[in-house]
Each structure stands twice: as structure tokens, then as C-alpha cells.
């Protein structure tokens, strides 16, 4: 039976990436060595790093004045690195979920933090709007996609101060105007690569304004100067990222995958809205994530949650259980998930409805 991978992360990767990384484990770039054992200073891996950076710049149409670097530590390390490097005394945060809350908490270690708006009181089931950002803050931080609750900020917010975004779970899934941002960071384990590397896109002119001492390894300038090789980078994850980006380019790039993602999400949301057994956790279509589609059993059918989970699993659906903190269901429809898998989930939902 075919398995359909709806896990939120680490998550599904393109078959192309899996095949190419298997090849690279056996023989990397014709070197006769595995990518798992090759030196990061070898000409083969330096070429891989440079090509991966070029692909990021090409696919996201990154303008001049930006640097692309790869770091370890996941997006969670960026929660601290961002304020450490950018906050002189004050920052602003939009609180749209658990990861945004964690980023805000870390920022408080470095100065005053203004929470411009929050949807916490409503269990983060919408994206706040009509908020104002203090003009004297050093930067404004947003989390573009909320993996746990299923909301997504699909447009760049207006900001007269440097804009920073955690795009861990929707990077490369939709068109983004990078010029509106001073810094974008993203853990790779959703749409890019296996866990272990973090992508950073940073505008150079935002750096060098703080006076606090910054540990060498936590200073963005260290890694820009070292071309992501100040220390040994996550070689395998970067190689896998190169394969995923090559696959994405072959499909037609970000705009092409965005069309596919809209089609997949529409199919599933339409079924959730139609099916008597289910209700979406996010009511406003404008706020609904294209990457993490969350839903629960409707009133009167709560006792069917576990039976549906077991039924879906028997049909090959893996990873559709909601986050442990909220329950219900979550279907993550990242770039590599085929439309076929969404159709299979919709068929399972319809068949389960007929039985109940």
C-alpha cells in the first residue's frame, strides 16, 4: 500500500532529492567518496555550496545587497541570534503562534520588546490585522506560517523599519518579495532538506549597529566572511538542499509550485468545509495556511476522532494527527507532497463520512 506522508516536519522530500542523495552517499560528485565523509573544503563540496547559494538567489529572486548563509542550530537558534545581532534597544513582534511566542521570549533578553498584536486569546486561530509597528524599534519580527494552528501570513506586512521573518515552514512554497525584508531565516526540514541546516538571507546594511559583544559563532558577519564555512557546515543537509532546489527549478520555480500548493490546499479545505464530520480550525480563508491544514471533528462527532485517525492510517495516511498541544488533525501539504496524496486523504474522509 502506498504511504502518504503528511508529517509536519521533518517531512516529505521530493523523490528526486532522495534518489540523488542516495547516489551522493555512494559517490559524491565523482570523487569516489561519500558525501557523508568528504571534506567541506574539498573542491567538490565548495562547488556544491556555491551552487546551492546560487539556486536560492535565483529561485527567490534575491536582489543585490543580500547574503545567503547556511548555519546549524535550527530556527530556534535564530530566535536569539536575531536580537543579539540586530536589536540595539527595542524590537517589535507579531505573536501568531508557539514559535512566534518563543522568538519573542528570546528577544526580551536583549532589550524592550513590543508585542504589536497577538491572537493567543483565540488559540492563535487568526492573523491579527490593523496593528501599528513602533517606528523607533530596531526591527519588526513576524512568523509567516503557523505549523501548529494552521495560519499563514501570505503578504508582506507594511513596515517602515527592518522586517525580519521566520519562514521555516513556507519558504519556497510561494512568491516572496525579498526586498521587503532585512532578514529571513528558515529551518530546512520542511520544504528544503533534512533537519540539520538553517537558511539565512540577510541584508548586509542591517548589521554592525549593535555595540554589545557578540560571540564569534553567533555573529552573522562571521559566517558571511567565512562563506558559511567558518566551522564545518552540515554538509549532507546542504547537499540535499541543492537537490531539492534543482528539483524545484526543474518544475518551473516558486511560482509554479505555488500554483500546485494552492490547488492541493483548495481541494482539502473544500472537503473539510463540505464534510459533516469535520470543521476547520481556521475560519477565515484569508488566514488559512497552504502548508499546514488543521481540522477537528465537528460537534456531535467528537467520539469519532480516534476511529478516523485509525481509518486514515489504514488507508496509508501518515502524520495527520494534530500537534500534541492542540489535538485534532493536521495535514501538512509541503511542496513535495503530490496532489495524489491529497486526493487519497479526501477520498478517505468521504468514505469515513459514508460509514458514519
pLDDT band at 10 (very low <50, low <70, confident <90, very high): very high
pLDDT one-digit tens code per residue, 329-342? 999 999 999 999 99
**Average pLDDT of the residues in 345-355:** 98
| H/E run at residue 268 | helix 254-274
Class of domain 253-355 (CATH, top level): alpha beta
DSSP bridge partners of 198:
71, 187
In angstroms, what is the C-alpha Rg of the chain?
21
pLDDT band at 275 (very low <50, low <70, confident <90, very high): very high
Are β-strands 183-187 and 198-203 bridged in parallel, bridged antiparallel, or unpaired? antiparallel
The answer to whether domain 15-251 and domain 253-355 are alike in fold is: no
> Which amino acids are annotated catalytic?
99, 166, 190
Other Cβ atoms within 10 Å of 233 Cβ, number: 22
pLDDT one-digit tens code per residue, 245-270? 999 999 999 999 999 999 999 999 99
Residue 150 confidence (pLDDT): 97
Other Cβ atoms within 10 Å of 183 Cβ, number: 24
Report domain extents, the chain: 15-251, 253-355
Which of 267, 288, 270 minimizes the C-alpha distance to 146?
288
Other Cβ atoms within 10 Å of 213 Cβ, number: 8
Alpha carbon distances (Å) from 167 to 83, 85, 251, 270: 17, 19, 21, 26
Other Cβ atoms within 10 Å of 346 Cβ, number: 18
State which fold the 15-251 domain adopts.
3.40.640
pLDDT one-digit tens code per residue, 85-140? 999 999 999 999 999 999 999 999 999 999 999 999 999 999 999 999 999 999 99
pLDDT one-digit tens code per residue, 12-61? 999 999 999 999 999 999 999 999 999 999 999 999 999 999 999 999 99
**Average pLDDT of the residues in 312-319:** 97
pTM above 0.85, yes or no: yes
Grid cell 526586498 is found at 179
Q: Taking all residues of the chain, what is their mean pLDDT, rounded to a whole number?
A: 97
User: Burial code of 163-178, b = ≥16 C-beta within 10 A, e = fewer?
Assistant: bbbbbbbbbbbbebeb
pLDDT band at 325 (very low <50, low <70, confident <90, very high): confident
Beta strands in the chain (DSSP E): 4-5, 66-71, 90-95, 112-118, 140-143, 145-146, 151-152, 163-166, 183-187, 198-203, 278-280, 292-297, 317-318, 329-332
Through-space distance between the first and last CA atoms of the chain, rounded to whole angstroms: 24
Q: Which three cell numbers stand for residue 44?
A: 567538490
Residue 324 confidence (pLDDT): 78
DSSP bridge partners of 118:
95
Amino acid at each position: 500500500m502506498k504511504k502518504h506522508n503528511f508529517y509536519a516536519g521533518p517531512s516529505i522530500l521530493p523523490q528526486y532529492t532522495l534518489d540523488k542523495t542516495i547516489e551522493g552517499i555512494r559517490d559524491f560528485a565523482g570523487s569516489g567518496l561519500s558525501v557523508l565523509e568528504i571534506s567541506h573544503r574539498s573542491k567538490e563540496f565548495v562547488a556544491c555550496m556555491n551552487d546551492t547559494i546560487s539556486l536560492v538567489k535565483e529561485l527567490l529572486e534575491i536582489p543585490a545587497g543580500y547574503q545567503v548563509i547556511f548555519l546549524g542550530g535550527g530556527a530556534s537558534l535564530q530566535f536569539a541570534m536575531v536580537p543579539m545581532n540586530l536589536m540595539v534597544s527595542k524590537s517589535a513582534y507579531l505573536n501568531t503562534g508557539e514559535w512566534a511566542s518563543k522568538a519573542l521570549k528570546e528577544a526580551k533578553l536583549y532589550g524592550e520588546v513590543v508585542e504589536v498584536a497577538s491572537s493567543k486569546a483565540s488559540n492563535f486561530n487568526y492573523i491579527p490585522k490593523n496593528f501599528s509597528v513602533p517606528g523607533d524599534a530596531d526591527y519588526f519580527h513576524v512568523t509567516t506560517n503557523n505549523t501548529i494552528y494552521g495560519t499563514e501570513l501570505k503578504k508582506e506586512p507594511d513596515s517602515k523599519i527592518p522586517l525580519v521573518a521566520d519562514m521555516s515552514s513556507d519558504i519556497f512554497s510561494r512568491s516572496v518579495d525579498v526586498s521587503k525584508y532585512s532578514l529571513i531565516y528558515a529551518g530546512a526540514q520542511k520544504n528544503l532538506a533534512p533537519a540539520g541546516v538553517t537558511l539565512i538571507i540577510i541584508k548586509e546594511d542591517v548589521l554592525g549597529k549593535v555595540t554589545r559583544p557578540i560571540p564569534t559563532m553567533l555573529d552573522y558577519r562571521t559566517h558571511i566572511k567565512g562563506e558559511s564555512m567558518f566551522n564545518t557546515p552540515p554538509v549532507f543537509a546542504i547537499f540535499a538542499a541543492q537537490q531539492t532546489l534543482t528539483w524545484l527549478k526543474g518544475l518551473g520555480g516558486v511560482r509554479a509550485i505555488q500554483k500546485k500548493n494552492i490547488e492541493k490546499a483548495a481541494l482539502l479545505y473544500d472537503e473539510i468545509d463540505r464534510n459533516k464530520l469535520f470543521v476547520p480550525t481556521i475560519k477565515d480563508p484569508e488566514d488559512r495556511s497552504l502548508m499546514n491544514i488543521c481540522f477537528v471533528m465537528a460537534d456531535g462527532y467528537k467520539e469519532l476522532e480516534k476511529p478516523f485517525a485509525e481509518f486514515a492510517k489504514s488507508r496509508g495516511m501518515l502524520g495527520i494527527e494534530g500537534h500534541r498541544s492542540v489535538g485534532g488533525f493536521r495535514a501538512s501539504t509541503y511542496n513535495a507532497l503530490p496532489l495524489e496524496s491529497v486526493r487519497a486523504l479526501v477520498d478517505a474522509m468521504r468514505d469515513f463520512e459514508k460509514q458514519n
